[in-house]
């Protein structure tokens, strides 16, 4: 099927702008911002219902476009598709982190409409006629009321299949069927898609619709993930088409007015990210220069950056703690040579020894030139705990730092999971026996498949001792590893 987007002026213009952004052209980014900021901001406000959160993610999103423009280029459509998808993903993560997603599951809560009549007045430069807001609005209005509610709850409110079923008091099978039906209707009207894969297994086709909406039930569906791994061309094409069609849903929203100050803050954040990147490149270049043979040229004097001094101060602090811990252990051993240690003393010495080993691991990680620091956030805002993962993608060993997690009995343990190719893999278990220490460090073995690039979701759960095959216990912390391919 010939894609009408390939011949559109906007497709060419978007990709030209992104090519210029690769060359660090801030004017090209400003043009892209002027073109799509209104619709993106409307999407963020519809999902987050918070000016502060929406403006913060706007800054994060366009900074990400500036630092990773290739991610937003597409050979089959407008760059707007990928920008909207990334904005929605960041909004869903923000909703989960602040624990407000459950509010939409209450039966008495109002389901916000999928579209607005005022969307027909919106004008977006370069958008083809078949993707005009007025055209999208007319298509959305023709969907059944239940289909509109299901798409609204799944796409904008970020509810799971189970939560939508409870909210609408409908069977989950009906929800998944309606999702696929509504997306097929939109595909036929917008993309002129006349394909009929009805001979394929219905369950897998419904999973394709759920996968495009990023419902967690699909990520944990082992039979469907195994089916995709076999290279099913029908399902892969279905997912691609469904993802494209749902990216046009925000075209049916009313466009909100943005303050000029927001654009200034976005561009300032972009320039700040450029400074950080230049400093990092200077440091890497300096490392390369030190490994080359000496030649008769004038050497440039390296000026340490702010990030260098921060990491240096952390390493110095840990070294001081490490030396102090070693000296203290030696002193304790001298005392204990004369006196039989008590049970409490033995435990204390053992903990100090463990702390020394952990600090050594942290020092090794911090000394790497490819250091990644992955923050963890509470799975729900009311849950305690926070943490970071110090990770070098060139190595499988990482150090997990946690604080404020509840102490647990002997028959339970915390488990760190990585979601790789739709399957949760255990990276290790750890215990929290005392709150005497403000922070705890644990050695973690990361799966080798994490190195392949892209994004890997991380999850910390509380499980029964003995090891669980999948995360079934209470979820405490979540994080995401983002690696460039």
- pLDDT average, residue stretch 414-432: 86
Rounded CA separation 376/398 (Å): 14
Output 189 or 386, whichever has higher pLDDT: 189
Rounded CA separation 132/404 (Å): 50
Q: Give residue-wise pLDDT tens across range 325-337.
A: 777 777 766 665 5
Residue 214 in any domain: the answer is no
Q: Give residue-wise pLDDT tens across range 24-44.
A: 899 999 999 998 999 999 999
Structural contact between residues 164 and 282, judged by C-beta atoms closer than 8 angstroms: no
350 and 437: one domain?
A: no
345 and 426: one domain?
A: no
Residue 357 in any domain: the answer is yes
Q: Which domain holds residue 404?
A: 372-483
477 and 403: one domain?
A: yes
**Helix ranges (DSSP H) in 71-171:** 79-98, 133-141, 145-151, 161-168
330 and 392: one domain?
A: no
Quick one: which of 435, 381, 387 has its CA closest to 408?
Answer: 435
Q: Pull the structure tokens for residue 53.
A: 């959160």
What is the residue-averaged pLDDT of the chain?
80
Beta strand residue intervals within 203-295, DSSP E: none
Whether pLDDT at 404 is above 60: yes
Residue 246 in any domain: the answer is no
**R_g of the chain, CA atoms, integer Å:** 26
pLDDT band at 420 (very low <50, low <70, confident <90, very high): confident
Structural contact between residues 347 and 366, judged by C-beta atoms closer than 8 angstroms: no
Rounded CA separation 156/88 (Å): 8
pLDDT at position 335: 61
396 and 472: one domain?
A: yes
pLDDT at position 451: 65
Rounded CA separation 399/438 (Å): 16
pLDDT at position 181: 94
Q: How many domains does the chain have?
A: 2
pLDDT at position 55: 93
pLDDT at position 7: 43
pLDDT at position 10: 45
Q: Which of 321, 337, 366 is where one domain is finished?
A: 366
Structural contact between residues 249 and 137, judged by C-beta atoms closer than 8 angstroms: no
pLDDT at position 208: 93
Helix (H) or strand (E) holding 306: helix 306-336
Top mean-pLDDT range of 121-125, 384-388, 395-399:
384-388
Q: How far is CA 176 from the centre of its chain?
A: 25
Judged by DSSP in three states, 461 sits in: strand
pLDDT at position 297: 45
DSSP 25: -
379 and 478: one domain?
A: yes
* CATH assignment of the domain containing 460: 2.60.40
Residue 102 in any domain: the answer is no
pLDDT band at 435 (very low <50, low <70, confident <90, very high): low
Judged by DSSP in three states, 283 sits in: helix
pLDDT at position 6: 42
470 and 379: one domain?
A: yes
Residue 479 in any domain: the answer is yes
476 and 388: one domain?
A: yes
Whether pLDDT at 120 is above 70: no
Whether pLDDT at 8 is above 50: no
Residue 330 in any domain: the answer is yes
381 and 310: one domain?
A: no
Q: Give residue-wise pLDDT tens across range 164-190.
A: 999 999 999 999 999 999 999 999 998
448 and 394: one domain?
A: yes
% residues pLDDT > 70 (the chain): 76
% residues pLDDT > 90 (the chain): 32
3-state helix, strand, coil in the chain (%, to 5): 55, 15, 30
Residue 124 in any domain: the answer is no
pLDDT at position 9: 46
362 and 379: one domain?
A: no
- The C-alpha angle with vertex 156 and arms to 60 and 108, in degrees rounded to 5, equals 135
pLDDT band at 5 (very low <50, low <70, confident <90, very high): very low
Q: Give residue-wise pLDDT tens across range 228-239.
A: 999 999 999 999
Residue 45 in any domain: the answer is no
Sign of CA dihedral 375, 211, 67, 280: positive
Q: Which of 348, 366, 384 is where one domain is finished?
A: 366
397 and 359: one domain?
A: no
pLDDT band at 482 (very low <50, low <70, confident <90, very high): confident
Q: Which of 346, 366, 386 is where one domain is finished?
A: 366
């Amino acid at each position: 099927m010939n894609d009408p987007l390939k011949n559109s002026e906007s497709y060419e213009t978007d990709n030209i702008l992104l090519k210029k952004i690769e060359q660090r052209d801030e004017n090209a980014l400003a043009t892209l911002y002027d073109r799509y900021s209104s619709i993106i901001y409307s999407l963020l406000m519809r999902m987050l219902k918070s000016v502060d959160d929406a403006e913060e993610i706007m800054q994060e999103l366009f900074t990400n476009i500036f630092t990773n423009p290739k991610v937003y280029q597409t050979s089959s459509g407008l760059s707007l598709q990928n920008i909207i998808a990334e904005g929605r993903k960041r909004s869903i993560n923000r909703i989960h982190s602040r624990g407000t997603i459950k509010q939409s599951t209450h039966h008495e809560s109002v389901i916000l409409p999928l579209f607005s009549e005022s969307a027909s007045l919106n004008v977006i430069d370069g958008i083809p006629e078949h993707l005009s807001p007025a055209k999208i609005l007319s298509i959305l209005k023709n969907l059944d009321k239940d289909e509109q509610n299901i798409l609204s709850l799944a796409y904008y409110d970020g509810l799971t299949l189970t939560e939508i079923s409870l909210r609408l008091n409908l069977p989950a099978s009906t929800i998944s069927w309606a999702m696929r039906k509504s997306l097929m209707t939109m595909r036929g009207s917008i993309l002129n898609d006349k394909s009929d894969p009805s001979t394929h297994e219905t369950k897998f086709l419904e999973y394709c619709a759920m996968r495009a909406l990023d419902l967690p039930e699909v990520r944990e569906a082992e039979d469907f993930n195994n089916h995709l791994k076999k290279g099913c061309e029908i399902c892969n094409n279905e997912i691609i088409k469904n993802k494209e069609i749902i990216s046009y849903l925000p075209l049916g929203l009313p466009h909100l007015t943005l303050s000029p100050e927001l654009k200034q803050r976005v561009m300032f954040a972009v320039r700040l990210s450029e400074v950080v990147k230049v400093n990092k490149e200077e440091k890497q270049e300096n490392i390369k220069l030190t490994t080359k043979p000496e030649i008769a040229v004038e050497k440039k004097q390296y000026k340490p950056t702010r990030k260098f001094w921060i990491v240096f101060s952390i390493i110095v602090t840990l070294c001081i703690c490490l030396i102090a811990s070693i000296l203290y252990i030696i002193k304790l051993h001298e005392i204990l040579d004369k006196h039989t240690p008590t049970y409490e003393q033995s435990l204390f010495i053992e903990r100090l020894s463990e702390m020394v080993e952990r600090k050594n691991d942290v020092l090794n990680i911090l000394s790497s030139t490819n250091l990644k620091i992955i923050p963890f956030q509470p799975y729900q805002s009311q849950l305690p705990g926070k943490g970071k993962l110090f990770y070098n993608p060139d190595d499988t060993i990482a150090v997990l730092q946690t604080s404020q997690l509840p102490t647990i009995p002997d028959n339970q343990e915390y488990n760190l999971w990585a979601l790789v190719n739709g399957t949760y893999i255990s990276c290790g278990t750890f215990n929290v026996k005392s709150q005497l220490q403000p922070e705890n460090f644990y050695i973690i073995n990361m799966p080798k498949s994490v190195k392949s690039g892209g994004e890997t979701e991380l999850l910390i759960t509380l499980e029964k001792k003995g090891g669980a095959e999948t995360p079934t216990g209470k979820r405490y912390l979540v994080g995401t590893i983002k690696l460039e391919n």
